[in-house]
């Protein structure tokens, strides 16, 4: 749902600036009319809402409407620095909206408002920037959130890589809902809402180093709708986290450590595309650590796991939902996987990035 505060009409009637150059220059960061043209033409026109159009230094949000939705404000921020800016299945704009919406939604919040702060390297193609802003607008409309305030900076060539976007977001958590990694208990079931590793593999592939044509697309999507269905069907859900950077393995390790429980997963039960598995085999990567942008890991009590799985499978973003393991009393703080071969091994946190193996 969207709560859209009303603002005076006067600001919206101000004549809008427009941009007639092919590339962003340092002049567009100078605070003068060139900057206003950039903001008006690219961002304000794409995001198109009265709170933003007022162009005050802050968005003004009515408290009464927020309070009607719950008793806790959820507030989050994330920066997006992805290379390449456009990739199969999405772009940095869609990612910046979905990522922050998901960070709110996994806490059980109804996402409402986002900010958008863009750091632009001089020389960036204006049409590309327009396309990215439109993509943000369409992702925001799809997620039912409004981008209500923002900022742009233009930096010298080399001071950033083409375009960095930061989005902050606020949402409201309804009374009585309390999700947390520390709430996992032995016997709880662990679910994921579909195929893992697509985003990480798509991005590595899009960089083109390997000249593989795997046809893998990013799974980038806003998951608040799916999460709402899950929470309806399984009201005692303990914990939800989006499996972004660090992948499934990292989320499970955080849950195991926070709750001092063990986690056992079944390799065979983890949904994954054959292409993603093959891609990782070639590069010597472990798909359990690949980033996702449209996947959540949920921990629910044993007696609600079937209801949870059923509700998630009924949602378009959860058709491939699978129960991949359970919380145990063994090995507190550790994640253990039963391998396809019938052995078991520890799935640890990574120290840094995964590095391709030599041979």
The residues that touch other proteins, with contacts defined as CB under 8 A, are: 209-210, 274, 277-278, 281, 283-284, 286, 331, 334, 336, 339-346, 348, 351-352, 355-359
- Nearest approach, Cβ of 266 to other proteins (angstroms)? 12
Helix axis angle for 198-206 and 274-283, nearest 10°, is 50
- Nearest approach, Cβ of 230 to other proteins (angstroms)? 31
Of 159 and 340, nearer to other proteins (C-beta) is: 340
Of 174 and 207, nearer to other proteins (C-beta) is: 207
How far is C-alpha 235 from the chain's CA centre? 23
| Residue among 353, 219, 330, 316 nearest 276 (CA) | 219
- Nearest approach, Cβ of 314 to other proteins (angstroms)? 30
What is the distance between the alpha carbons of residues 218 and 241, in angstroms, rounded to a whole number? 18
- Nearest approach, Cβ of 329 to other proteins (angstroms)? 14
241: number of Cβ within 10 Å: 22
Of 81 and 346, nearer to other proteins (C-beta) is: 346
List, in sequence order, every beta strand (DSSP E) within the chain. Answer: 72-80, 86-87, 90-91, 109-121, 146-155, 163-173, 189-192, 239-242, 262-266, 296-300, 322-328, 335-338, 344-346
**Strand arrangement, sheet containing 239-242:** 239-242, 296-300, 189-192, 322-328, 262-266, 335-338, 344-346
- Nearest approach, Cβ of 264 to other proteins (angstroms)? 11
- Nearest approach, Cβ of 272 to other proteins (angstroms)? 10
Of 1 and 341, nearer to other proteins (C-beta) is: 341
Of 20 and 357, nearer to other proteins (C-beta) is: 357
Of 154 and 272, nearer to other proteins (C-beta) is: 272
Of 191 and 336, nearer to other proteins (C-beta) is: 336
- Nearest approach, Cβ of 302 to other proteins (angstroms)? 24
Give CA separation, 236 vs 226, 254, 308, 338, in Å.
16, 20, 10, 27
> Token match 């590309």: residue?
128
> Token match 């009924």: residue?
314
């Amino acid at each position: 749902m969207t709560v859209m505060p009303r603002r005076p009409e006067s600001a919206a009637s101000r004549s809008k600036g427009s941009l007639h150059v092919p590339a962003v220059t340092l002049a567009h960061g100078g605070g003068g009319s060139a900057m206003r043209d950039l903001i008006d033409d690219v961002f304000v026109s794409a995001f198109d809402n009265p709170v933003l159009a007022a162009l005050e230094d802050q968005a003004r949000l009515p408290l009464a409407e927020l309070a009607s939705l719950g008793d806790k404000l959820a507030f989050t921020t994330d920066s997006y620095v992805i290379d390449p800016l456009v990739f199969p299945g999405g772009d940095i704009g869609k990612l910046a909206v979905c990522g922050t919406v998901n960070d709110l939604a996994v806490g059980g919040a109804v996402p409402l408002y986002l900010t958008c702060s863009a750091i632009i390297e001089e020389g960036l193609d204006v049409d590309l920037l327009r396309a990215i802003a439109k993509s943000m607008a369409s992702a925001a409309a799809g997620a039912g959130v409004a981008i209500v305030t923002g900022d742009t900076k233009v930096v010298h060539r080399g001071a950033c890589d083409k375009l960095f976007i930061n989005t902050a977001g606020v949402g409201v958590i309804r009374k009585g809902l309390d999700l947390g990694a520390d709430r996992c208990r032995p016997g709880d079931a662990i679910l994921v809402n579909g195929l893992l590793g697509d985003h990480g593999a798509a991005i590595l592939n899009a960089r083109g180093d390997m000249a593989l044509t795997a046809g893998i697309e990013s799974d980038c999507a806003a998951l608040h709708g799916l999460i709402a269905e899950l929470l309806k069907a399984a009201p005692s859900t303990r914990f939800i986290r989006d499996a972004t950077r660090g992948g499934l393995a990292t989320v499970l390790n955080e849950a195991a450590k926070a709750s001092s429980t063990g986690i056992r997963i079944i390799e065979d039960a983890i949904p994954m595309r054959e292409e993603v598995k093959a891609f990782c085999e070639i590069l010597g990567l472990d798909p359990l650590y690949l980033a996702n942008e449209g996947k959540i890991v949920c921990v629910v009590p044993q007696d609600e796991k079937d209801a949870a799985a059923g509700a998630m499978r009924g949602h378009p973003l959860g058709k491939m939902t699978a129960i991949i393991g359970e919380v145990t009393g063994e090995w507190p703080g550790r994640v253990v996987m039963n391998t396809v071969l019938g052995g078991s091994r520890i799935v640890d946190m990574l120290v840094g990035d995964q590095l391709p193996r030599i041979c």
